[in-house]
Structure 1
Amino acid sequence: VLLRRIYKAPELFQLLATFALVLVIKDAALWIWGPEELLGPRAPGLSGSVDILGRQFPSYDLFLIVVGPVVLGLLWLLLTRTRWGTLVRAATQDREMVSALGVNQAWLFTAVFALGALLAGLGGALQLPREPATLEMDLNTIGAAFVVVVVGGMGSIPGAYVAALLIAEIKAVCIWLGVVEIFGYSVSFSKLTLVVEFLVMAVVLVVRPWGLMGRPQAASRNTGLPEAPLRAPDRWFKIGGMALLAVLVLLPMLTAGSPYLTVLFIDLLIAALFAASLHFIMGPAGMHSFGHAAYFGLGAYAAALLVRSAGIPMELALVVAPLAAAAGALLYGWFCVRLSGVYLAMLTLAFAQITWAICYQWDGFTGGSNGLTGVWPAAWLSDKRNYYYLTLALVVGGVLLLRRILYSPFGYALRAGRDSVLRADAIGIDVKRMQWTAFVIAGLFAGLGGALFAFSKGSISPETLHVGRSVDGLVMVLLGGIQTLAGPVVGAVTFTWLHDTVARNTDYWRAMLGAIILILVLLFPQGIAGAIKQVFDNRREAKNMKEGQA
Structure 2
Amino acid sequence: MDFLLIQALSGLASAASLFLVASGLSIIFGVTRIVNFAHGAFYMLGAYVAFTLTDRFAGPLGFWGSILAASIVVAGLGALMEMVLLRRIYHAPELFQLLATFGVTLMVQDMVVLVWGPEDLMGPRAPGFAGAVELFGRKVPSYDFLLIALGPAVLGLLWLLFHRTRWGVLVRAATQDREMVASLGVNQKWLFTSVFALGVFLAALGGALQIPRTTVSHAMDLSIIVEVFVVVVIGGLGSVTGAFIAATLVSELNAFGILVLPQISMVMVFLVMAVVLVVRPFGLFGKAEGAPRAAAGLSIRPWRPMVAAERAGVAVAVAAAAALPFFAGSYALSVGSEILIFVLFAASLHFLMTVGGLASFGHAAYFGLGAYGAAFMVKLAGAPMELALLAGPLLGLAGAVLFGWFCVRLSGVYFAMLTLAFAQIAWSVAFQWVPVTGGDNGMLGIWPASWAASPQGFFWMTLASVAVGVALLRMLVFSPFGFGLRAARDSTLRAEAIGIDRTRTQWAAFIVAGTFAGIAGALFAFLKGSVFPESLAIPTSVDGLVMVLLGGIETVSGAVIGAIVYKALAIWLMSKTELSKLVLGGVIVLLVVAFPKGIVGFLEDLRHRRSRPPAANGAGPAAAGYGVAKVEAAE
Is TM > 0.5 for Structure 1 vs Structure 2?
yes
Distance 2:459 2:592 in 1: 31
Partner of 1:235: 308
1:183 corresponds to:
none
Specify which of 132, 139, 146 is matched with residue 229 of structure 2: 146
**3-state SS, counterpart of residue 269 of structure 1:** helix
The CA distance in 2 between the partners of 1:354 and 1:162, in whole Å, is 22
Partner Cα separation in structure 1 for residue 474 and residue 451 of structure 2:
31
Question: Is the 1:278–1:292 contact (alpha carbons within 8 Å) kept by the matching residues of 2?
Answer: yes
Matches within 5 A, 1:206-225: 206-221=278-293
SS of equivalent residue, structure 1 residue 219: coil
The AA in structure 1 aligned to 2:157 is L
2:431 to 360, 371, 378: 360
CA contact (8 A) 1:329 1:439 kept: yes
State the match for 1:180 in structure 2: none
Q: Taking structure 1 as reference, are residues 176 and 306 closer, same or farther at Cα in structure 2, changes over 3 Å only?
A: closer
Q: Aligned partners of 2:184 and 2:363: how far apart in 1?
A: 42
Deviation at 1:532, TM superposition (A): 0.8
Question: Quick one: which of 208, 214, 230 aligns to 1:125?
Answer: 208
SS of aligned partner of 1:42: coil
Paired residue secondary structure (2:435): helix
Structure 1 stretches of 5 or more lacking a match?
178-188
Q: Deviations for 1:207-255, whole angstroms, at most 9, x for unmatched residues?
A: 1111111111222336689513221212332222122112111111132
Structure 1 CA distance for aligned equivalents of residues 405 and 569 of structure 2: 36
Structure 2 CA distance for partners of 1:232 and 1:484, relative to 1, 3 Å: same
1:201 matched to 2:273? The reply is yes
1:248 aligns with 2:321: yes
Give TM-score, length-normalised by structure 2.
0.82
The alpha-carbon deviation at position 343 of structure 1 amounts to 0.9
The separation in 2 between residues aligned to 1:193 and 1:38, in whole angstroms, is 28
The 2-side partners of 1:8 and 1:85 are apart by 24
Give the corresponding residue for 1:135: 218
Cα shift at 1:533 = 1.1
> What is the aligned partner in structure 1 of residue 584 from structure 2?
513
Question: Residue 290 of structure 2 aligns to which amino acid in structure 1?
Answer: A
Aligned to 1:309: 380
Match among 554, 579, 593 for residue 522 of structure 1? 593
Decide which of 58, 61, 74 is 2:141's aligned counterpart.
58
Q: CA deviation at 1:280?
A: 1.1
Q: Deviations over 1:351-385 (max 9, x none)?
A: 11111111111111111110011100001111110
1:8 aligned to 2:91? yes
Change in Cα spacing, 1:389 to 1:399, as seen in structure 2 (3 Å) is: same
Q: Is the 8 A contact 1:175 1:193 kept in 2?
A: yes
RMSD: 1.7
Amino acid at match of 1:116: G
Q: CA deviation at 1:274?
A: 0.2
SS in 1 for 2:323: helix
**1:168 match:** 251
* Aligned pairs, number: 534
Matches within 5 A, 1:455-474: 455-474=526-545
Q: Distance in 1 between matches of 2:537 and 2:375?
A: 17
Q: Distance in 1 between matches of 2:233 and 2:599?
A: 32
CA distance, structure 2, for counterparts of residue 79 and residue 543 of structure 1: 52
Deviates more, 1:383-392 or 1:55-64: 55-64
Correspondence for 1:94: 177
Distance 2:305 2:297 in 1: 21
Contact 1:9–1:223 (CA<8 Å) still a contact in 2? no
Aligned-partner SS, 1:221: coil
Rounded Cα–Cα distance in structure 1 between residues aligned with 2:169 and 2:250: 30
| Cα distance change on mapping 1:86 and 1:525 into 2, 3 Å | same
Structure 1 residues 229 and 530: CA distance shift in structure 2, 3 A: same
Separation of aligned partners in 2, 1:339 and 1:238? 37
Residue matched to 1:330: 401
- Correspondence for 1:370: 441
Q: CA deviation at 1:204?
A: 0.6
Distance 1:499 1:41 in 2: 38
* Residues 9 and 224 in structure 1, CA contact (< 8 A), matched pair in contact too: no
Distance in 1 (CA, whole Å) between partners of 2:376 and 2:370 is 10
**CA gap 1:459/1:225 in 2 versus in 1, 3 angstroms:** closer
Name the CA distance, whole Å, in 1 between partners of 2:565 and 2:263: 38
Is contact 1:8-1:222 (8 Å) kept? no
Judged with a 3 Å threshold, the aligned counterparts in structure 2 of structure 1 residues 222 and 92 are, in CA distance, closer, same or farther, namely: farther
Tell me, what secondary structure is at the counterpart of 2:134?
strand
Report how far residue 88 of structure 1 moved. Answer: 1.9
1:495 to 551, 557, 566: 566
1:330-349 aligned within 5 A: 330-349=401-420
1:78 corresponding residue in structure 2: 161
CA distance in 2: counterparts of 1:31 and 1:16, whole angstroms: 23
Q: Is the 8 A contact 2:295 2:490 kept in 1?
A: no
Q: Secondary structure at the match of 1:542?
A: coil
Contact 1:263 1:384 in 2 (8 A): yes
Indicate the SS of the match to 2:133.
strand
Percent of aligned positions that are identical: 55
Rounded Cα–Cα distance in structure 1 between residues aligned with 2:318 and 2:386: 24
* Consecutive unaligned residues in structure 2, runs of 5 or more: 1-82, 618-626, 628-635
Greater alpha carbon shift after TM alignment, 79-88 vs 411-420:
79-88
Residue in 2 aligned with 1:26?
Answer: 109
Query: Aligned partners of 2:267 and 2:190: how far apart in 1?
Result: 38
- In structure 1, the partner of 2:71 is none
CA distance in 1, matches of 2:296, 2:410: 21
- 2:345 is the alignment partner of 1:274: yes
8 A contact 1:7–1:106 mirrored in 2: no
Contact residue 297 and residue 554 of structure 2 kept, 8 A = no
Letter paired with 1:207: V
**Counterpart residue number, 1:185:** none
More deviation, 42-51/13-22: 42-51
Report the counterpart of residue 613 of structure 2 in structure 1.
542
Q: Is the 8 A contact 2:347 2:559 kept in 1?
A: yes
**Alignment partner of 2:209: what SS?**
helix
C-alpha displacement of 1:206: 0.9
Task: Out of 511-520 and 236-245, give the one that drifted further.
Answer: 236-245
Paired with 2:123 and 2:250, the residues of 1 have a C-alpha distance of 25
Partner Cα distance (1:224, 1:465) in 2? 24
Residues 71-80 or 535-544, more deviating: 535-544
Amino acid in structure 1 at the alignment position of 2:587: I
Q: CA deviation at 1:10?
A: 2.2
Q: Check conservation: 2:175, 2:238, Cα contact below 8 A.
A: no
Trace 1:481-492 onto structure 2 (pairs within 5 A).
481-492=552-563
Give 1:184's aligned residue.
none
Change (3 A) 1:33 1:76: same
2: CA distance between counterparts of 1:388 and 1:416? 38
